[in-house]
Structure formats: C-alpha cells, structure tokens
C-alpha cells in the first residue's frame, strides 16, 4: 500500500527518499516541470529561460515557507521544487538521528543555519535503555563542520554530546549563536568552558534537564570579557557550584539578557544581586531560593520583594529548588503578570500556595508538586482561567505512597480551567467520572497524560477498569494528539483509542491491556501514529506483525517487557529493509529462550547503524 | 532510644562488659569484630559503619522497585530524597562515649538542627550537665566538655565550627571529664 505522499507529511523529513523513486516522479514529469539531473522518460521541450525565472521566483517564495511540513510538501511537487526547497531550507529538523545519516542530510540540504536533532526515545529517561546505547552527536558535528560553515543554531534532545563535540562546535562555526541541550549527557564543565570561551557571538546557551559532569572547571568565568550578546543563560540542571562573582560580572555586562535560570547553588541572597543587575529579565529561574546560612536575628536581609517588583517584564518564573517558604511572599509583585510558573521543585503546601496563586490570573503554564493537595488544585482552578498547561508531579514517586492529589483535583481543574490544552497528572487514585468530566469540560485538550502510579489500579470508587475514562477522552477531545494511559485497562480501552483517536501521534502505554487485540486496535485505527511506546503489556508477535503496513510511517515503536519473541521481531526485520529492528538486552536480565526484553524499531534510510553497543542486537 | 538499640544489637558482646579504661580506646578492635561479623567493607569513618549497621537493624527491607516506574526522571526523584523524613534517608551516625561511662552510644547527627539540640540530647542521654559555651573559654560551669574527632583525627571542642561543617566532619564524639576537658577548652 503506497502511502499517500501529500497526506503523509509528518514533521520529520527523514522520510524523504532522496533519489526520486519510480512512479510518482515519472508522472510528475509530464506536468511541465524542469527535468534536471537524471535522464529518463520522455524528452520534453522546455525553453530554459522561463524556467530559470521560475526557479528564482520559487527560491524567493520558499524563503517565506518556514513550516517544515509545508516544506516537505513543497519538495514533493516535482524535482525542480525538490531541488530549490533543498537549497533554501535553513532549519533542518531530524526527529531520529539514526533515520538518516549526516552525510545524506548534508548532501541534500546545503545551506542550513539551524539544526534540530533528536536521539534516544523517551523511555531512555527512565533507565530503560543502556547508558551507552548511542545517539552520538560526534558524527553530526563533524559532518556539519565541513558542510555548514555558517551554522548558527543547534538544538539537541536526548543526544550524547562529548566535551570534544563542544570544542568542535565552538571552533568550526565562527558565527555560532545558539546552543540548546535538552536531556543530553556525556559532557562536563570543562567542555562548556571551552565552548563559551570560543563562541564570541553566543546569544543563547540553554542546558535543560541535562546531565553535566562536574570537572571542577569554573566555566562561567570563561565567557570572554567585554560586552556579551547573551540573551539566554539557562543552567538550572547543572549540579555543581558556580563562581558567583564571575556570574554577577557576566550578567552585568549582558544588557540583552532576557532569560536567566540559575541552579540550586545560587542562594537567594545571590539571586537578589543578580536581579538588581538584570531587571529586564523575562524568564527567571530562581536557584535555591533559600539563604546560604540561616540568617541570625538582626541580620539585614535584602528587600527581595522590591527586587521582584523591579522586574516589570517578568513573565516566567521557575527554580525554587530548596525553597524556604517564608521567602515566597517576595514574588507577590510579579504574580499578576506571570504566564508561566514552575513550582515543580518547591515543596509547598496548600496554605503556602493559595496567596500566590490567587493573584496569577494570567497564568497559562503551571508545573507543581502534589504537595499542594487537591485543595491547592481547587485554588488553581478558581483563579487560573487562562490555564493551558498543567503538570502535577509527585513528591514521593513511589507506588505505595499516599498521594495527596486525586480525582477531586482533576475534577476541579476540569471545571475551572476550560481552556486547558495539555495535562500531565501523577496520582495514586482516580475515577472514570473525573476523567470523563475533563473530556467534556476541556474540549481543547491536545495532550492528556494521566499516570496512576499504582499499577493496574481500577476506578477508586466503582472498582471498574479505567476504560471508559480514556474512551471519553479520545471521543470528546477532538484535537487530541498525545495520550498516555494508566490504571487498570482492558482491550476495550484500546478499541476506543483505535476508533476515536484519529489524530493521535504519540501514545504511551504501560501495564495495560489483555491480549494482542489491544495493540491491533491501535495499529489498525490510528493513522497518524508516529511514536508508540509500550512497556509491560501482554502484546505479542501477532500484534506486532499486524502493524507492518504502518511502521514506515512512524518515527519509532518501543516495546519492552511485552510478549515478543526473537522470531517475531526477525520476521519484521526480514519483511522490510527500511526498518531498523533493535533488540536490547538489559544489563541484569537474562532472556528466557526466545523472548525479547526490549524492541526498539524505527524507519531509516541507512540500515543498521555501526555504533551499537554490545547490549544491542540489530536483526 | 534508637542509638542504644542499634548499639546493643550490633555490639552485644561489649554491651555487658564493664570497662575501667576510657571507652573508645579499643574501638578499632570493635570495628574489626563487627566488620568480620557483618561482612562489611573496612570502615573509613565512624559514621559510615554506624550508618549501615543501624540501617540493617531498624530499616524495613526495601520493596523491590520496578525499573523506571513511575515514569519520573531520576533527577526529580533525587531532588526530594534528602527532604523526606530523616528516618528514611541515610543518617550521619556517630559513636558517643563519655569518660567514666561503660557504654558507647550511637546518635544520628542529622536529627538535630543545631548545637543546642545536640547538647541537650547528650545531657539527657548521659545524665549530666554541660556548661555554658564561650568561644574563648570553652564550656564553663561543669566538669564536662563535649569534644569530637574530626576527619583529620584532631580532637576539637564541639561548637567551634559552624554546624554544617561539624556534622560533615565529625567522626565520633567524646564527652571529656576533668582536667583534660579544661585543657582542651582553653584557647588552643
């Protein structure tokens, strides 16, 4: 079944076959396109002059086309458009670094200024993948050093980046401006130090949820002297002390600095000094939000409240890594303007939250710990009518702990925050009724991720499976593209998802389902499915094989601790060479006979990769 | 009292022994004995051994955790480990001896928020009074002075350094009595 090219435009362009393949292009040739390159088919009469004009016009027009989906579509019109699009694409997005090789990517797109690259699948975050699995930035940076001397931006997610890579990055691109590393690892403060010292045009350095080794190098002091162009400095995930004096001097000489997110080694007193130097910040990560030493009686404490009041442009607040709640009132002056508030490291209770949240009328994004309890969520629901995204994290991420939030909080949010688009909610107990209520009250939901931490937990009131709740979500939330399910679920839940979840692109399943039918429903019913991650669910080879028609349209399939066998995975691998089928052994598990611990499968133009570690077998 | 329970279970041979000499003088021997019995690594600091012993006795066996469940990234989980109830996190256990007392005690320094609380606890534990502390003159008004051995093996007067530094560097405590106490207290 040939995929309908025009419709299959996913956000990834690694799906592109670089030399034009058979049928489509021959027929397109008949449509007055400039036949360049490969000679085949009918000789067409094309006066060269008008086509040159056409190409120039096309080139200019395509400059305005920035959405990668539109560009992917444009590139398929005909060869001429394909060529011009390749020449003019300046931002390259690759959703799976193994789907296409650096060589192929740089050969097609020759004028790239920004690279956006993703590596490991999300379940790697939860220790489900060997640490040395791959996703190395090295080959990419080397290829780009040759191909893109004018590269300005690199955005990486779940990639392994070494100190050497950072050095190469800094040395190869004289105009380099932005580096964003999300959930990356493999580098340390010494690599950072070299990087910041050599990138003289640096505007953005954002380290988000990344693992940074403490090489005891004072990287902050390596920023070059003189006025800096820094607009964004985010290092809240860096778990090592920094030289505060150097940081203060850096902030003082960065007049364009808008985003500053400090790590937990910056005390509230130090934060104060930084804030009065940079009142123009729009995004502030407040560091530890506690003092270095307990202030004695009579010590003069700075007026934190005035410092916050002076930050008139502040819209996004985070940090509070070791918060002492007494200091919270200092943020009152900015609450009314806040659109984003991240309390997900702040162990505060309901009473401490209420006076803050009462003023946050404009809040659109709120991340918080369940320490605020259902009552805290009720307070959020009462005030935050503009809320678009809510994430509630557990303070005690343990199956057996008591959770202070429940269906009560979810219900309250659904009633108060009607514009909600995205929710991530961890809890220990939930009811179908509350989930159904949310499906009806929040029709704009695009992302619904519910994690009932105790596995296989039924409806806390009726004892029924959670099928109907999730069924209502897919039925009523017509814009839903991302879904994560939990609790006791039968195949019926998946039947609903297959029937109604027509726009779903990402689906996460854990400890759910009864039989192969569950997976079959989803593979059959969800045409937009891109990323499917499943763990500990009773789906076997038959279900796996039933999706063969669809896998090339997906970015990846992950199945761990399911009922797959080597034979079943082998069958997929033999059926098509366009999929890479990886079987991953976990370090401390011995596979019994033919059974497969983890399957990670993805489409690729390159075939099996050569950098796989021993724990990975590519079939 | 938690400290004494742990002590008795671990060093039950020594528990009934009356010693005339200073407690703590044959500590190394005790450590060696307990190492052999418990198959522990040779201890580096008094605190470390104490901690693991105590956990064996008093902590409930950890339930088998499913890998990667619930799906929270580890840096989020770790952020709150140290903030949970002290009894669940690892404590800083040190042995406490008092001149003239036959038994050693074990205490968890993490339970206390400062010197005042610690000294009060010691007073209750050994039924004595500590004098008033001053930087210059040490503990005045009593025959006893609380001292500790730090990482470098030096004996210091309790209270000389900031609390945070103290609990990370203290290997064991000893409540000195008499002339020795006074000697230590006076402006070394």
Could you give all domains of chain A from N- to C-terminal order, each with its CATH number?
A: 53-86 (1.20.1280.50)
The number of residues in chain B equals 188
Three-state SS string over A290-323 comes to CCCCCCCCCCCCCCHHHHHHHCCCCCEEECCCCC
- Could you tell me what percent of chain A has a pLDDT over 70? 90
Is the per-residue pLDDT at A139 higher than 50? yes
Q: Measure CB to CB from residue B70 to each of A125, A395, A426 and give the nearest one.
A: A426
B84 in reach of chain A (CB within 8 A): yes
What value does the CA radius of gyration of chain A take, rounded to a whole number of Å? 26
Asked if A426 has any chain B CB less than 8 Å from its own CB, the reply is: yes
Put simply, the answer to whether A237 touches B75 (Cβ < 8 Å) is: yes
The answer to whether ipTM exceeds 0.90 is no
Q: Report pTM.
A: 0.75
Looking at per-residue pLDDT, the higher value among A21 and A613 belongs to A613
The closest alpha carbon to B65, from A561, A122, A586, A399, belongs to A399
- State the pLDDT at residue A395: 92
CA distance B167 to chain A (A): 15
Range of lowest pLDDT (A178-182, A319-323, B29-33, B160-164): B29-33
3-state secondary structure chain B: CHHHHHHHHHCHHHHCCCCCCCCCCCHHHHHHHHHHHHCCCCCCCHHHHHHHHHHHHHCCCCCCCCCCCCCCCHHHHHHHHCCCCCCCCCCCEEEEEECCCCCCEEEEHHHCCCHHHHHHHHHHHHCCCCCEEECCCEEECCCEEEEEEECCCCEEECCCCCHHHHHHHEEEEEEEECHHHHHHHCCC
CB contact under 8 A, B79 and A321: yes
Judged against a pLDDT cut of 50, whether residue A565 lies above it is answered with yes
Contacts of A293 in chain B (CB under 8 A): 162
Residues A363-389, mean pLDDT to the nearest whole number:
97
On the question of pLDDT at A461 being above 70, the answer is: yes
Tell me if chain A has a CB within 8 Å of the CB of B80: yes
- Within 8 A of B80 by CB-CB distance, chain A residues are 347, 395-396
Instruction: Tell if the CB–CB gap between A126 and B79 is shorter than 8 Å.
Output: no
Q: Does A344 touch chain B (CB under 8 A)?
A: yes
Q: Which chain A residues have a beta carbon less than 8 Å from that of B63?
A: 400
Give the A:B interface size as CB pairs under 8 Å: 57
pLDDT tens digits, chain B, 188 residues: what are they?
A: 444 444 444 445 555 656 555 544 444 443 333 333 333 333 333 333 333 343 334 444 344 467 889 999 988 887 765 444 434 456 787 888 888 776 667 788 887 888 888 888 888 777 778 777 777 777 777 788 899 998 888 888 888 888 988 988 998 898 888 777 666 644 44
Q: Decide if A395 touches B, using CB distance below 8 A.
A: yes
Chain B nearest-CA distance from A75, in A, is 39
Range of weakest confidence among A194-203, A334-343, B54-63? B54-63
Q: How do beta strands A283-286 and A598-603 pair?
A: unpaired
Domains and CATH numbers, chain B: 93-181 (3.10.20.90)
Q: What is the pLDDT of residue A17?
A: 36
- Determine the Cα–Cα distance for residues A340 and A363; give it in Å rounded to an integer: 6
Q: Which of A251-255, A498-502, B145-149, B181-185 has the lowest mean pLDDT?
A: B181-185
Residue of A57, A50, A45, A93 lying closest to A72 (CA atoms): A93
A399 to chain B: closest CA residue: B70
> Quick one: how far is CA B76 from the chain centroid?
30
Q: Cβ of A510 and B71 within 8 Å?
A: yes
- Check CB contact under 8 Å for A126 and B68: yes
Q: What residues of chain B lie within 8 A of the CB of A510, using their CB?
A: 69, 71
């Amino acid at each position: 079944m040939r995929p309908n090219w025009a419709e299959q435009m996913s956000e990834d362009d690694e799906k592109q076959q670089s030399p034009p393949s058979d049928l489509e292009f021959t027929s397109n040739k008949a449509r007055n396109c400039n036949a360049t390159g490969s000679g085949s088919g009918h000789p067409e009469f094309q006066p060269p002059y008008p086509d040159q004009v056409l190409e120039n016009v096309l080139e200019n027009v395509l400059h305005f086309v920035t959405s990668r989906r539109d560009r992917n579509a444009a590139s398929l019109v005909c060869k001429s458009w394909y060529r011009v699009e390749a020449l003019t694409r300046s931002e390259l997005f690759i959703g799976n670094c193994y789907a296409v090789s650096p060589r192929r990517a740089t050969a097609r797109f020759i004028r790239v200024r920004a690279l956006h690259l993703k590596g490991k699948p999300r379940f790697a975050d939860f220790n489900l993948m060997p640490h040395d699995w791959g996703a190395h930035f090295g080959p990419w940076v080397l290829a780009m050093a040759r191909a893109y001397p004018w590269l300005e931006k690199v955005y990486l997610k779940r990639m392994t980046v070494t100190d050497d890579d950072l050095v190469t990055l800094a040395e190869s691109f004289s105009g380099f401006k932005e580096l964003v590393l999300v959930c990356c690892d493999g580098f340390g403060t010494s690599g950072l130090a070299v990087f910041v010292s050599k990138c003289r045009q640096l505007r953005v350095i954002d380290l988000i949820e990344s693992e940074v080794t403490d090489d005891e190098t004072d990287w902050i002091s390596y920023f070059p002297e003189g006025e800096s162009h820094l607009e964004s400095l985010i290092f809240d995930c860096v778990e090592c002390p920094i030289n505060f004096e150097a940081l203060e001097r850096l902030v003082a000489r960065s007049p364009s600095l808008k985003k500053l997110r400090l790590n937990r080694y910056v005390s509230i007193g130090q934060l104060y000094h930084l804030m009065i130097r940079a009142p123009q910040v729009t995004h502030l990560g407040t560091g530890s939000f506690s003092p270095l030493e307990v202030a004695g009686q009579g010590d003069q404490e700075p007026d934190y409240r005035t410092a916050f009041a002076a930050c008139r442009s502040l819209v996004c607040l985070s940090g509070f890594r070791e918060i002492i709640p007494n200091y919270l009132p200092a943020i009152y002056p900015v609450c009314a303007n806040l659109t984003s508030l991240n309390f997900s490291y702040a162990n505060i209770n309901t009473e401490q939250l209420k006076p803050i949240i009462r003023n946050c009328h404009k809040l659109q994004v709120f991340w918080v710990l369940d320490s605020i309890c259902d009552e805290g969520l009720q307070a959020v629901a009462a005030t935050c009518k503009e809320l678009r995204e809510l994430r509630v994290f557990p303070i005690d991420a343990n199956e057996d702990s008591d959770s202070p939030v429940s269906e009560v909080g979810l219900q309250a949010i659904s009633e108060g925050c009607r514009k909600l688009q995205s929710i991530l909610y961890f809890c220990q107990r939930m009811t179908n009724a509350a989930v159904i209520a949310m499906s009806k009250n929040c029709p704009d939901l695009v992302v619904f991720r519910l994690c009932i931490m105790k596995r296989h937990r039924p409806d806390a009131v009726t004892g029924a499976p959670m099928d109907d709740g999730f069924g209502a979500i897919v039925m009523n939330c017509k814009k839903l593209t991302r879904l994560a399910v939990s609790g006791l679920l039968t195949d019926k839940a998946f039947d609903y998802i297959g029937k109604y979840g027509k726009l779903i692109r990402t689906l996460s399943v854990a400890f759910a389902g009864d039989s192969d039918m569950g997976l079959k429903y989803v593979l059959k019913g969800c045409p937009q499915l891109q990323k499917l991650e499943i763990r500990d669910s009773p789906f076997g080879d038959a279900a796996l094989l039933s999706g063969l028609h669809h896998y090339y349209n997906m970015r990846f399939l992950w199945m761990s601790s399911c009922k797959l066998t080597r034979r079943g995975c082998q069958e997929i691998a033999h059926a098509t060479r366009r999929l890479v089928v990886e079987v991953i052994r976990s370090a401390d598990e011995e596979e019994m006979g033919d059974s497969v611990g983890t399957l990670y499968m993805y489409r690729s133009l390159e075939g099996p990769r050569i950098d796989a570690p021993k724990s990975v077998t590519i079939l | 009292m938690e400290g004494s329970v742990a002590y008795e279970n671990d060093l039950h041979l020594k528990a009934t022994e009356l010693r005339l000499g200073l407690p703590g003088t044959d500590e190394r021997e005790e450590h060696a004995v307990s190492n052999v019995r418990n198959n522990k690594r040779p201890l580096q600091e008094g605190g470390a051994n104490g901690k693991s012993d105590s956990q064996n006795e008093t902590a409930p066996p950890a339930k088998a955790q499913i890998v990667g469940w619930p799906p929270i990234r580890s840096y989020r989980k770790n952020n709150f480990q140290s903030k949970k109830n002290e009894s669940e996190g690892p404590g800083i256990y040190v042995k406490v001896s008092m001149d003239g007392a036959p038994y050693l005690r074990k205490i968890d320094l993490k339970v206390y928020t400062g010197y005042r609380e610690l000294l009060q606890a010691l007073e209750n534990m050994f039924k004595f009074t500590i004098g008033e502390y001053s930087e210059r003159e040490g503990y005045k008004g009593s025959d006893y002075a609380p001292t500790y051995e730090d990482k470098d093996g030096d004996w210091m007067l309790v209270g000389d350094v900031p609390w945070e530094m103290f609990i990370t560097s203290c290997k064991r405590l000893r409540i000195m009595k008499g002339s020795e106490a006074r000697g230590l207290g006076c402006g070394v």
